[in-house]
A = this chain, B = another copy of it.
Amino acid sequence: MKKVAVLTSGGDAPGMNACLRAVVRGALYHGLEVYGIKRGYDGMIRGDIYKMKSYSVSNILGQGGTILKSARSVEFRTKEGRAKAAEQLKSRGIEGLVVIGGDGTFTGAKLLYEEHGLPVVGAPGTIDNDLYGTDSTIGYDTAVNTALDAIDKIRDTANSHDRVFFIEVMGRDSGYIAVQTGIGGGAELVMVPETRTTIDNVISTLQQGWDREKSASIVITAEGDQEGSAQEIAAKVKAKCPDKDIKVTTLGHIQRGGSPSAYDRILASRLGLAALEGLVAGKECVMAGIIKNEVVYTSLEDAITKDKPLNQDLVRMINILSV
């Protein structure tokens, strides 16, 4: 293998740049030429591809977002689009591809491999931590810290006014961010898609606090919860407890940005290097992950489709610690 390319795709996550830097410098270290593709599969189709040097990734280790940018591509969802994309790489002599992103990104990579035989290795970059084959995804730790910082601030107000706050965190269909921030933020309750929590459960938990004259209560809701958004859940609770002072905050996009945490910078560096070295070693159609502190390669098929259950130890802790 002489030439490889790299792209970022899907929702941006803190640490994508650190991962990109590791791919580029790893490639140079192993004597390869390395090309950056701008705006994911969209740029691949359009041939927005440039040669990267060591200095191309200087001073990006601590930057949020992705310097390669990301975009949706309707055309890439067609067979013709993917053929065009593959041709862009072939015509440049590029023999392997590293993709940094989440399940949508990996679905596209898998098709590229299946339809055009292009070796691809993925690095899991998403704040949602919803990919099988790695204990943690790139950006997850930073997102949790950002959400936690926001919750700490909101607790100041909750305590000052003896209020109930419903705070919605990201995570799509996964409750990972919600559980981590729930424990880290000392929440009274965490509502996640993986477990059914009814409005009556919510009220009875809050009631325990009110009985002990607990001054403030914080409920963390995952965006994918069955009872709806934090806004909707709060409205349902308010309907049954009209005299309570209830507020809602939806943290939103602040969770995607910011300088990556130490954990994410190191994870991203390790996974970027592992993805590149996997490609060099002949891996095809896999994702590089870290499980129990060791690099592991999982087929993209498994990474996308297999379930990654919540750690039930953590769920149990919330009840004990908010006593």
Contact = CB atoms under 8 A, between A and B. Distances in A.
A256 B181 CA distance: 20
Nearest to A311: B293
Interface string A182-200: 0111100000000000000
A36 interface: no
Contact of A249 (B54, B63, B141, B252): B252
Interface in A159-173: 159-162, 165
Interface in A213-228: 215
B12 A321 contact: no
Contact of A29 (B70, B141, B153, B323): B323
Interface residues of A, number: 76
A28 B54 CA distance: 33
Closest 4 CB pairs of A and B: A153-B257, A64-B156, A156-B257, A65-B156
A25 B320 contact: yes
A81 interface: no
A321 B160 CA distance: 23
Oligomer copy total:
4
A41 to B, nearest CB: 14
A152 B253 CA distance: 11
Nearest to A21: B321
Nearest to A64: B156
A71 B161 contact: yes
A22 B321 contact: yes
A156 to B, nearest CB: 3
A259 interface: yes
Interface stretch (A111-119, A143-151, A235-243, A299-307): A143-151
A155 interface: yes
Given A184-B262, A248-B252, A270-B317, 4 more contacts: A62-B152, A69-B160, A184-B266, A295-B313
B258 A152 contact: yes
A190 to B, nearest CB: 13
A105 interface: no
Contacts of A165: 253
Contacts of A186: 59, 61-62
A93 B54 CA distance: 37
A259 B66 contact: no
A235 to B, nearest CB: 16
A26 interface: yes
A205 interface: no
Interface in A248-273: 248-254, 256-259, 261-263, 265-266, 269-270, 273
A314 interface: yes
A215 B270 CA distance: 25
